Structure 1
Amino acid sequence: MKRLLSYGLIIIGLLIIVYPRASAWLDDRQQEKLMAQWEESADDEEALQEAIDQYDRLSALFAEAESDEDNASATPDAVETEEPTDTPEPSKEPPKLNAIATIRIPSIKVNLPVLEGATQKNMKYAAAHLTETAPIGEVGNAAIAAHRMRAKGKLFNRLNEVKKGDKIVVETKGETYTYVVTGTSIVVPTDVSVLNYNKTDRRLTLITCDPVVDPTHRLIVHAEMA
């Protein structure tokens, strides 16, 4: 009995010695965990804000494309002509651009290169992945924007014809991802909810202007990985 009591007292003594250190270790671990969560949250917020900024800049890019088309369709009387010269100017080569993917929508016969970043240069020739939205094929919401030109079938001109259940195939270097359209919507340019996502689904959001002429809204196609 005395021996058991002695063992009990020894164990209690050890616990008294160890407990503060164990408690401090647990506190440090919790602190590290909270800091990691905070840093991850801050990164998410910064990425989301950058994505929202790019989404906002689309309004200017869409308006610029509309203006370019208006100028291109101007009547000859409204366009100043220059006297011909003996030496023709060399034709301008299009800038060298590197596609990160291609996007195909078989139902509307779309087959476009996808460039990184929604810029005037990129969107003149292709669709553009909004930097800081989820990488294509990964968990999150990958957003791709393109102009809705007036020429039939050019860029995202026919995006309004996409229906629920249609397939969207995005091919990156070495990977092919198939998304299924879950719905479409028309929103005001300030509606950033189209960029929302959770941390389980692999979503794809296509963005263009609406209507084709004098656009005031945005046409959104929502899709999820099959």
Structure 2
Amino acid sequence: MRGLRALGVLFIMAALVLFFWQNIRAYFTDRVNHQVITSFEQQDKAPEVNPLERWITQTDPEKVTLKKNMLGYLEIPAAGINEPLLKGPATQANLENGVTLVEKDEQLSEQNIAIAGHRVEGAGIRFNYLGRANKGDKVILVTKGGKKVYEIYDSYKVNPSQVSVLNEHPGRPQELTLITCDSYNPDTLLFEERLIVKARIVRGA
């Protein structure tokens, strides 16, 4: 009888974990992000992420050596986004551990800085809530060189093949091109479009 009760409790606990899984994942990802960003600000070698945090968040900060790969962090307060920004290219490892410059040799000094982030359905992490940002909302980019503030001026969807959004426009003010997947098709299990959010610099180093 006690065995059946214990089994019943385990089933209930498992059901609760499954029901709240995305909330749990978002909570622990925020914790890990905070540790990673704090380590960056304090110029520590690596954050102390325990095995449980690593398993729940499906991240491995040890793969992303801070001194080599982390450029800073990106904040969009209106969308609840506060993510480590990593050097390009946009590999799976980078996308699992933060947001990332799209191309391998991309520099933060370029006119059009393209940044990609995963859309993790049901969890408030990475660029999942990027669509909540509106025109006029601020995007804050913090690096070792200081803080820059950008203002969103446009957002739209494109086909994945439309790479012209990455083009440079010499002579124009610096801007960010934020990219994530959009338009999920449950029949094909694929995201069929990309959401593009454009932000123009308003002040910074």
Which of the five TM-score ranges fits, normalised by the shorter chain? 0.5 to 0.7
1:206 aligns with one of 173, 178, 188: 178
Q: Which has the higher strand share?
A: 2
What CA distance in whole angstroms lies between the structure 1 residues aligned with 2:99 and 2:86?
Answer: 6
Query: CA distance change for structure 1 residues 170 and 196 in 2, over 3 Å: closer, same or farther?
Result: same
> Are positions 1:218 and 2:190 aligned together?
no
In the other structure, the counterpart of 1:122 is 94
What CA distance in whole angstroms lies between the structure 2 residues aligned with 1:220 and 1:151?
Answer: 20
Amino acid at match of 1:121: A
Query: CA distance change for structure 1 residues 101 and 143 in 2, over 3 Å: closer, same or farther?
Result: same
Matches within 5 A, 1:75-224: 91=51, 94-96=60-62, 97=64, 98=66, 99-117=70-88, 118-131=90-103, 134-136=106-108, 138-200=109-171, 201-212=173-184, 214-224=190-200
| Deviation at residue 212 of structure 1 after TM alignment | 4.9
SS in 2 for 1:211: strand
Query: CA distance change for structure 1 residues 212 and 114 in 2, over 3 Å: closer, same or farther?
Result: farther
Structure number, greater radius of gyration? 1
Matches within 5 A, 1:54-69: none
Identity %: 35
Q: Could you tell me which runs of 5 or more consecutive residues in structure 1 were left unpaired when the two chains were aligned.
A: 1-71, 74-90
Amino acid at match of 2:198: H
> Does the CA-based 8 Å contact 1:197-1:203 persist in structure 2?
no
| Deviation at residue 196 of structure 1 after TM alignment | 2.1
Listed one character per residue, the Cα deviations across residues 35-92 of structure 1 (whole Å, up to 9, x for unaligned) are xxxxxxxxxxxxxxxxxxxxxxxxxxxxxxxxxxxxx99xxxxxxxxxxxxxxxxx59
> Does the CA-based 8 Å contact 1:133-1:142 persist in structure 2?
no
Amino acid at match of 2:138: K
- The alignment's C-alpha RMSD in Å is 2.4
Q: TM-score, normalised by structure 1?
A: 0.56
What CA distance in whole angstroms lies between the structure 2 residues aligned with 1:122 and 1:139?
Answer: 20
SS in 2 for 1:182: strand
| Deviation at residue 180 of structure 1 after TM alignment | 0.7
Amino acid at match of 1:223: A
Query: CA distance change for structure 1 residues 165 and 156 in 2, over 3 Å: closer, same or farther?
Result: same
Amino acid at match of 2:196: I
What CA distance in whole angstroms lies between the structure 2 residues aligned with 1:158 and 1:124?
Answer: 16
| Deviation at residue 140 of structure 1 after TM alignment | 1.2
| Deviation at residue 95 of structure 1 after TM alignment | 4.4
> Does the CA-based 8 Å contact 2:86-2:94 persist in structure 1?
yes
SS in 2 for 1:124: helix
